Amino acid sequence: MTEQRPTIRLRPKAEARAIRHGFPWVFADELVMDRRTRAIAPGTVAILEDAERRAMGLVAVNPNSRIVARMLDRDPQAQIDEDWFAERLTRAMQLRQKLYDTPHYRLVHAEADGLPGVVIDRFGAAAVIQPNAAWAEIRVDALARALVRVTGVETIIRNGTGRARALEGLAEETTILRGQVDGPVPVPMNGATYMADLTGGQKTGLFYDQRDNHAFAARLARGGRVLDVFSHVGGFALAALAGGAEHALAVDSSAPALDLACQGASASGFADRFQTRKGDAFAVMEALTGEGASFDLVVCDPPAFAPSRQALDSGLRAYERVARLAAPLVGRGGWLVLCSCSHAADLAQFRAACTRGIGRGGRRAQLIHTGFAGPDHPQLPQLAESGYLKALFFRLD
């Protein structure tokens, strides 16, 4: 029996064309926000109509969010149930199986995979779900059942942390939905073994988005000394060592992350070429300069300094400062890799900030490569936010 669904309607001057052409969000100022619409419970599935009352599809509604409606299905009669989730997950997994000969990847990249606000990373027989929107939070059990059906995973962790959930009015909590987690999970990638903390680590426990950039940096690091700043669990450092780097130093403010990095270095067989240094990244880079340190490859992969437009100016100044402090640590003819995961800072703005910083650091640079997130993080062309990651590879004079 088809459930009775509420209806929400676009204002007469709202841009219905963008939604028909694939833009997945509807903001509060585009909708008729009457008392009835404001009373809809967060996470409710509703029918979206244009100003002429023509049905445009099914949306997930949260009147308390800046994004009031997220497009789920163009068919207004679709049932958002376990079978619906299974169809979306099957399509997502078929793409990843084409890309990788390993069960370690991002399985669902939110809107780009037709599951708005949902991130799922797979770690072999385990998976971590981030239901970052109210509609997915309410239906996480059906999503988990479909995930088992499609992938055969035995353990599922629901990671309920992060800024996106706060914007949706959701509580922060992490729970194990099924199976068990006995400790860090080893993840083979780019010839190294990474240790992912699926219940207490950052995000889902590992950053798959940098996989291709790790590999490119590893080519540059052959036979050289590497400094990996904001290293987390050893991202660039371990890949560089697997690719033939002579030595790597990982810097991070998190002792648990550096401990996992050490475990990964040991599991990979190059603990004797790997060191860590705990501390504030800016302070450590200043200290290394004072010590006269020099590296053949320096990588800085900080957290999002500009997570919103309001933080853009301060974020760009922070990226410039990173570049200014990192540049003097690169030996002559060496390489500097600067990364940003801030969707509010576009590529041109980020590149300009990095270039200013390198110049203020007393160096000249050639930009040799620009990297993005791997293909298991597909972009929705209509949604710039889905293409958040930028990695700039410079050769310094």
> Is there a catalytic annotation at residue 341?
yes
DSSP string for residues in 119-172: EEEEETTEEEEEE-SHHHHHTHHHHHHHHHHHH--SEEEEEE-SHHHHHTTPPP
Burial class (CB in 10 A: 0-12, 13-18, 19+), 309: exposed
Q: Using H for helix, E for strand and C for coil, what is the string for 250-307?
A: EEECCHHHHHHHHHHHHHHCCHHHEEEEECCHHHHHHHHHHCCCCEEEEEECCCCCCC
394 in Cβ contact with 338 (< 8 Å): yes
C-alpha to C-alpha distance for 227 and 294, rounded to whole angstroms: 9
Q: How far is CA 129 from CA 28, 34, 109, 205, in A?
A: 27, 34, 11, 11
Could you tell me the maximum CA-CA distance found in the chain, to the nearest angstrom?
73
319 in Cβ contact with 357 (< 8 Å): yes
Token digits for 363? Answer: 């160096």
Assign 360 to helix, strand or coil: helix
Rg, C-alpha atoms of the chain: 22
* CA-based torsion, 189, 195, 200, 202: positive or negative: negative
Q: Which residues contact 247 (CB under 8 A, 6 or more apart)?
A: 225, 226, 273, 274, 275
Token digits for 263? Answer: 């475990």
Instruction: List the catalytic residue out of 262, 339, 341, 354.
Output: 341
Q: Which residues contact 298 (CB under 8 A, 6 or more apart)?
A: 226, 227, 229, 326, 329, 330, 334, 335, 336, 337
Token digits for 364? Answer: 């000249």
C-alpha to C-alpha distance for 25 and 10, rounded to whole angstroms: 12
Active site residues: 341
